[in-house]
Chains A and B, each alone.
Chain A
Amino acid sequence: MAAVTTTSRQKLGWGATNLVVIALALIPVLWLASLSFKTPTAILDPSFVPAQWTWGNYTQILSTTQFIRPLINSIGIGLIATLIAVVLASMAAYAVARLRFPGKGVLIGMALLIAMFPAISLVTPMFSIERAIGLFNTWPGLIIPYVAFGLPLGIYTLSAFFREIPWELEKAAKVDGATPFQAFVKVIAPLAAPGMVTTAILVFLFCWNEFLFAISFTSTLASRTAPASLAYFSGSSQFTVPTGPIAAAAVVITIPIVIFVLFFQRRIVAGLTAGAVKG
Chain B
Amino acid sequence: MTTTTEAAPGGATTEVAKGRKAPLSEGARAERRLGWLLCAPAVIVMIAVTAYPVGYAVYLSLERYNLELPNAVKFIGLANYGAVLSSSYWWEALWVTVLISVVSVTITLVLGMLLAMVMHRTLFGRGSVRTAALIPYGIVTVAAAYGWQYAWTPGQGYLSAMFNNSAPLTDQFKAIGVIVLAEIWKTTPFMALLLLAGLSLVPEDLQKAAMVDGASGWQRFVRITLPLMKPAILVAVLFRTLDSFRIFDNIFILTGGNNGTASVSILGYNNLFNALNLGIGSAISILIFICVAIIAFVFIKGFGTAAPGTDIGKR
- Residues on A lying within 8 angstroms of B by beta carbon are 6, 10-11, 14-15, 17-18, 21-22, 24-26, 28-29, 31-32, 35, 43-48, 88-89, 91-92, 94-97, 99-105, 107-129, 144-145, 147-149, 151-152, 155-156, 159-160, 163, 180-181, 205, 208-209, 211-212, 216, 226-227, 230-231, 243, 246-247, 249-251, 253-254, 257-258, 260-262, 265, 268-269, 272-273, 275-279
Contact between A111 and B309, CB atoms less than 8 A apart: yes
Question: Which of B6-14, B84-92, B135-143, B218-226 is the contact stretch?
Answer: B135-143
For residue A273, which residue of chain B has the nearest CB? B197
Q: Tell me the complex Cα distance, A253–B127, Å.
A: 24
Of the stretches B101-109, B168-176, B261-269, the one at the interface is B261-269
Give Cα distance in the complex from A106 to B311, angstroms.
13
List A contacts of B129 (CB < 8 A). Answer: 18, 21-22
Q: Provide the residues of chain B in CB contact with A119, threshold 8 Å.
A: 246, 248, 265
B155 at the interface (CB under 8 A from A): yes
Instruction: State A216–B269 Cα separation when bound (angstroms).
Output: 8
What 1/0 flags go to B117-145 for Cβ under 8 Å of A?
01000111101111111111011111110
Are B42 and A120 interface neighbours, CB within 8 A?
Answer: no
Do A276 and B235 touch across chains, with their CB atoms under 8 A apart? yes
CB distance from A252 to the nearest CB of B (A): 9
List, in ascending order, chain A residues with CB within 8 A of B257's CB. none
Residues of B within 8 A of A89 (CB): 42
Given A99-B38, A116-B296, A123-B268, 11 additional A-B pairs, CB 8 A: A26-B135, A32-B144, A46-B157, A94-B38, A103-B35, A103-B39, A112-B308, A180-B31, A209-B140, A211-B140, A246-B146
Q: In the complex, what residue of chain A is closest to B134 when comparing beta carbons?
A: A261
Chain A residues positioned under 8 Å from B124 (CB to CB): 11, 14-15, 18
Inter-chain contacts of A10 with B (CB < 8 A): 123
Interface of B is mostly: helix
Question: Is the CB–CB distance between B150 and A247 below 8 Å?
Answer: yes
Q: Are A205 and B245 in contact (CB under 8 A)?
A: no
The contact of B57 among A15, A31, A125, by CB within 8 Å, is: A125
Is B161's beta carbon under 8 Å from chain A?
yes
- Contact assessment for A112 and B193 in the assembled complex, using a CB-CB cutoff below 8 Å: no
A46 is contacted by which of B158, B249, B252, B282 (Cβ under 8 Å)? Answer: B158
Q: How many residues of B contact A (CB 8 A)?
A: 106
Q: Is the CB of A230 within 8 A of B143?
A: yes
Give the contacts of B152-188 with A (CB-CB under 8 A).
155-158, 160-161, 185
Which of B39, B133, B272 makes the CB contact (< 8 A) with A92? B39
User: When chains A and B are docked, how far (Å) is the Cα of A95 from the Cα of B42?
Assistant: 11
Closest A residue to B55 using CB positions: A125
Please name all residues of chain B whose beta carbon is closer than 8 Å to the beta carbon of A246 when the two chains form the complex. Answer: 146
Name the CB-closest residue of A to B53: A125
* Contact in complex: A112, B253 (CB < 8 Å): no
Q: Establish whether residues B194 and A273, one from each chain, have CB atoms under 8 Å apart when the complex forms.
A: yes
- The residue among B115, B161, B282, B309 with the most chain A CB atoms within 10 A of its own CB is B309
User: Chain B residues near A265 (CB, 8 Å)?
Assistant: 127, 130-131, 134
Is B286 interfacial (CB 8 A cutoff)? yes
Instruction: Determine whether the beta carbon of B285 is less than 8 Å from that of A124.
Output: yes
Contact pattern, B 14-46, Cβ under 8 Å of A = 1, otherwise 0: 000001000000001011101110110111011
Residues of B within 8 A of A15 (CB): 124-125
Known: A31-B151, A148-B46. A18 touches B138 (CB 8 A): no
CB distance from A231 to the nearest CB of B (A): 7
Given contacts A25-B132, A26-B135, A128-B56, contact A45 B156 (CB under 8 A): yes
